[in-house]
Amino acid sequence: MKRQEIIKTLEEILPEVSKPTRYLGNELNAVHKDFDKQNLTFALAFPDRYEVGMSHLGIKILYHLLNQQEGVVAERVYAPWLDLEKKMRELQLPLFSLESKTPVAEFDIIGFTLQYEMSYTNIINMLDLAGLPLESANRNSDDPLVIAGGPCTVNPEPIVDFFDVVVIGEAEDLAEDLVAEYLAHQKSGGDRKELLRSLAKLPGVYVPSFYEADYQAGSFKDIRAQDDNCSAKITKRVVEDLNAAYYPTQMIVPYMEIVHDRIPLEIARGCTRGCRFCQAGMIYRPVRERSQARLEQLAERSIKETGYEELSLVSLSSSDYSQIELLVEQLVSDCADLKVGISLPSLRTDTFSLNLADQVQQVRKSSLTFAPEAGTQRLRDVINKGVTEEDLLTTAQAAYDSGWQRIKLYFMIGLPTETEADLAGMVDLAKKVAAIGKWKVKVSTSIFVPKPHTPFQWSSFVGLAEIEEKLSYLKKNLRGKGLSYDWHEPDLSLLEAAFARGDRRLNQVLKRAWQLGAKFDSWLEHFNFDLWKQAFEESGLDLADYVYRDFDLEAKLPWEHLEVGVSRDYLLAEYRRALAEETTDDCRFAECNGCGVLTNIDIESCLVGDSNED
C-alpha cells in the first residue's frame, strides 16, 4: 500500500479507535522532511504503545540527532494498540511511520529499542505488520537493515535471530559512524553480507549471524566468531564527554498525556554506588556529568522550545551530581517566574536528598519516594545498598516535620539469601515509618530478577511457590493506619528472568509464543502465562533450566562475548562479598574498586567530566 493510500485509510479509521492522536505524527517539534529526497531513511521503532515510547529519552536523542544531518531522515513508529492493529490486518494496512505515513518496509534502516525483555513479542509483531521476513537469515538486499539498541542488548541472545545488527552501548556515539558506513555501502553497490561485514568492523557493532553458539549436553558452552572480520569480544560504545555530547532541546510535545510528560534534563550518566542487583549501575559506567552552565543553558532552551511546565533532572542518582545544590538553587530561581516546576527522581534515603526535595517543592509537596530495597541491615549489606534503618527513619521524620504528606517505599523480594526475618524486617520498617505521623505510606515490592553483567548474574530466581508465600505474608501484615501495599506479577518476573539470562535457543520460544498470540506482555490485562508455558513445551526447552538454578561460576555465560566494562573478576568478587555479607565502598568517595571500566573501555578516566567546567 502506498503512502497516500495509507493516509486516506487512516482518515477513515482513526475516528473509530481509542486515542487516535497516538498516530497523527504532527505534534509540536516533530520533524518533517521530504522523505523521497533523503539519502538515508531511518525508522526509530519502540515496541510498546505511544505513551511509553514517547517517554523514552534515548529515542528523543537519536531522533533529533539523526534529523539534524543533511540527507538523513528519522521517523517514529510505535506498536499500534490492539484496536488499530485489528483494523490494519483487516484492511492489509502495513506498519507505517508517524511523520510521513511511509510503510516501515520502505525505510533503509529500522532501529528497535530493547528496553524491557517482556516487550520482545511486540518486536516480532511489528516486523510482521510491516510485511518483513521475521528472521534476519530470510532477508535480502531489498529489505531494511533491522537494528537493535538499548539496555537489553547487553544480552540480546534470546532475540538475535530477528536482528541483522545489534548496537552495544550508547548509540548516539555510533550514529555518525553508522550513517557514514551505510552511505558508503550505497555508493559501492555491495550486497547485504558485504554491508554487514563493513558494519561489524565498527566498535560496538555486533552482527549475530557472524557468531555461532555451542551447546553440549543441553547446556550453553560458548559463542565464537565465525568470520575473520569479527572480534572475539564486542566492546560497548561510550559517550566519553557528556558535556560536549549532543542533547536536544526541541523535543516533541505530544497532544495527549504520556507516561513522563515533562522535559527530561539528563544531568549525569552512570553510577558507582555498586548496588549488586542493579544492572544500570554496572552497564552505564563510567560516571559522566554535564556542567552546571551547560545544564542551565539546556533547561532555558528546552522550556522556550517546548512550553512544558515541569523539568525533571534525570540520572541514576540525582543527589550524587557533584554540584546538585547549586544547580537546583539556580534552576528553581530561573524557573520560578515561568511557573515551571522542578522534579528530582532517584533520590537517596538521606536528609541531604530531603533538603533538595524541599527546594523544588516549596509550594506543593506531593510525595517522596525512597528505596531501602530490603527489610534488614544484613540483607541491605548483601546487596550493598548503603542505606541504614536510621537513615530512613531520620529522613522520614524530617519529611513529616517539613509538611510532606505521602511517602513511597520500594522493596524487593526474592533477593539472594533472603529469609523470613528479612520479610518481617520489611513490615517492621514500613510500620515504623507509618507511625511517624498522620500521613500515607505506600509500600511497593518488585521481585528480584538476576541480570547479566551484575554480581548476581549467577543467582537463581526464587520459585513461584515461594514468591507466593512471601506475597501472602506481606499482604497479611502490611496493614494498618496509613499503610497500603502493591506488588508485581510473579509470572511476569519469572519470564523476565528467563529472557534476561537466556541463550539463543529462546528465539524459538519467543517466536512460538508470538504465534500463539502473545503480545503486549508487559500489560497485565494482556499477559497470558499459559501461552508461554505452551511455547516452552513445544520448543522442547525447560523454563526451569533458565531460572531455577544458580549458574556455574566457572562456566561461560551466553553474554560474555559482549564487553560492557565491568570485568568478570570484579563481578565474581562482588558476588562472593555479597554471600559473605560484606559491603564495598563507592569509588567516587573512596579507593578504586578495580571494576575494570578503565582497562576494558577506551576511555581516559573512569570518572569522566567535571561539572565545574563548561
**pLDDT digit string, tens, across residues 542-595:** 999 999 989 999 999 999 999 999 999 999 999 999 999 999 999 988 889 999
| pTM, 2 dp | 0.95
Which residue's C-alpha cell is 505521602?
A: 406
Structural domain of 400: 358-449+460-501
Burial call 585-613: b when 16+ CB within 10 Å, e when fewer? eebeeeeebebbbbebbebeebbbbebee
pLDDT, residue 319, reads: 87
* Residue spans of beta strands (DSSP E) within 351-499: 367-373, 406-413, 440-447, 483-487
Q: CA distances (Å), 520 to each of 123, 140, 447, in order?
A: 10, 29, 20
Q: CA distances (Å), 313 to each of 310, 376, 381, 518, in order?
A: 10, 30, 28, 36
**Structural element, H or E, at residue 476:** helix 464-477
First to last CA, the chain: 51
- Residue 41 CA to residue 102 CA, distance in Å, equals 10
- Residue 391 CA to residue 560 CA, distance in Å, equals 37
pLDDT, residue 309, reads: 92
Q: What is the DSSP letter of 15?
A: G
Residues 6+ apart with CB under 8 A from 390: none
pLDDT, residue 602, reads: 75
Tell me if residue 301 falls in helix, strand or coil. helix
pLDDT in tens, 165-199: 999 999 999 999 999 999 999 999 889 999 999 99
pLDDT in tens, 306-352: 999 999 999 998 889 999 999 999 999 999 888 899 988 877 777 67
Which residue's C-alpha cell is 500463539?
A: 516
In a domain, 204, yes or no: yes
Model confidence at 56: pLDDT above 80: yes
Q: What is the DSSP letter of 402?
A: T
Mean pLDDT confidence for 227-254: 94
pLDDT, residue 61, reads: 98
Arithmetic mean of pLDDT over the chain: 94
Mean pLDDT confidence for 22-46: 97
pLDDT, residue 613, reads: 40
Model confidence at 603: pLDDT above 80: no
217 and 366 belong to one structural domain: no
pLDDT, residue 155, reads: 98
Burial call 506-517: b when 16+ CB within 10 Å, e when fewer? bbbbbbbbbeee
In a domain, 601, yes or no: no
Number of domains the chain contains: 2
In a domain, 438, yes or no: yes
The half-sphere exposure of 613 on its side-chain side, counting CA atoms within 13 A, is 8
Q: What CATH number does residue 396 fall under?
A: 3.30.750.200
In a domain, 596, yes or no: no
**Structural element, H or E, at residue 90:** helix 82-91
In a domain, 133, yes or no: yes
Model confidence at 610: pLDDT above 50: no
pLDDT in tens, 133-159: 999 999 999 999 999 999 999 999 999
Cell numbers for 402, please give them. Answer: 517539613
Mean pLDDT confidence for 428-444: 95
The pLDDT confidence band at residue 606, using thresholds 50, 70 and 90, is low
Question: Angle, to 10 degrees, between the axis of helix 506-516 and the axis of helix 529-539?
Answer: 130
Q: CA distances (Å), 585 to each of 127, 188, 275, 359, 373, in order?
A: 45, 53, 10, 29, 18
Q: What is the CA radius of gyration of the chain?
A: 24
pLDDT, residue 248, reads: 98
pLDDT, residue 612, reads: 39
The pLDDT confidence band at residue 27, using thresholds 50, 70 and 90, is very high
The pLDDT confidence band at residue 614, using thresholds 50, 70 and 90, is very low
pLDDT, residue 358, reads: 83
Q: What CATH number does residue 188 fall under?
A: 3.40.50.280
pLDDT in tens, 4-16: 999 999 999 999 9
Q: Is the dihedral of CA 201, 202, 206, 209 positive or negative?
A: negative
In a domain, 338, yes or no: no
Among residues 609, 6, 67, 514, the alpha carbon closest in space to that of 290 is found at: 609
Contact 129, 105 (CB under 8 A): no
Among residues 159, 146, 149, the alpha carbon closest in space to that of 236 is found at: 149
pLDDT in tens, 255-302: 999 999 999 999 999 999 999 999 999 999 999 999 999 999 999 999
230 and 363 belong to one structural domain: no
What percent of the chain is predicted at pLDDT more than 70? 97
Tell me if residue 325 falls in helix, strand or coil. helix
What percent of the chain is predicted at pLDDT more than 90? 86
214 and 70 belong to one structural domain: yes
The pLDDT confidence band at residue 41, using thresholds 50, 70 and 90, is very high
pLDDT, residue 611, reads: 41
pLDDT, residue 367, reads: 81
The pLDDT confidence band at residue 362, using thresholds 50, 70 and 90, is low
Where is the domain boundary, 182, 209, 235? 235
- Residue 281 CA to residue 275 CA, distance in Å, equals 7
pLDDT, residue 379, reads: 98
Mean pLDDT confidence for 369-390: 95
**Structural element, H or E, at residue 265:** strand 263-266
- Residue 204 CA to residue 199 CA, distance in Å, equals 10
pLDDT, residue 608, reads: 52
pLDDT in tens, 66-124: 999 999 999 999 999 999 999 999 999 999 999 999 999 999 999 999 999 999 999 99
In a domain, 275, yes or no: no
pLDDT, residue 156, reads: 98
Residues 6+ apart with CB under 8 A from 135: 161, 162
Kindly write down the DSSP assignment for every residue of 97-133, as one continuous string.
-TTT--BGGGSSEEEEE---GGGHHHHHHHHHHTT--
> Which of these ranges, 202-206, 271-275, 398-402, 501-505, has the smallest mean pLDDT?
398-402
pLDDT, residue 337, reads: 85
Where is the domain boundary, 235, 253, 287? 235
pLDDT, residue 607, reads: 61
In a domain, 155, yes or no: yes
Where is the domain boundary, 186, 203, 235? 235
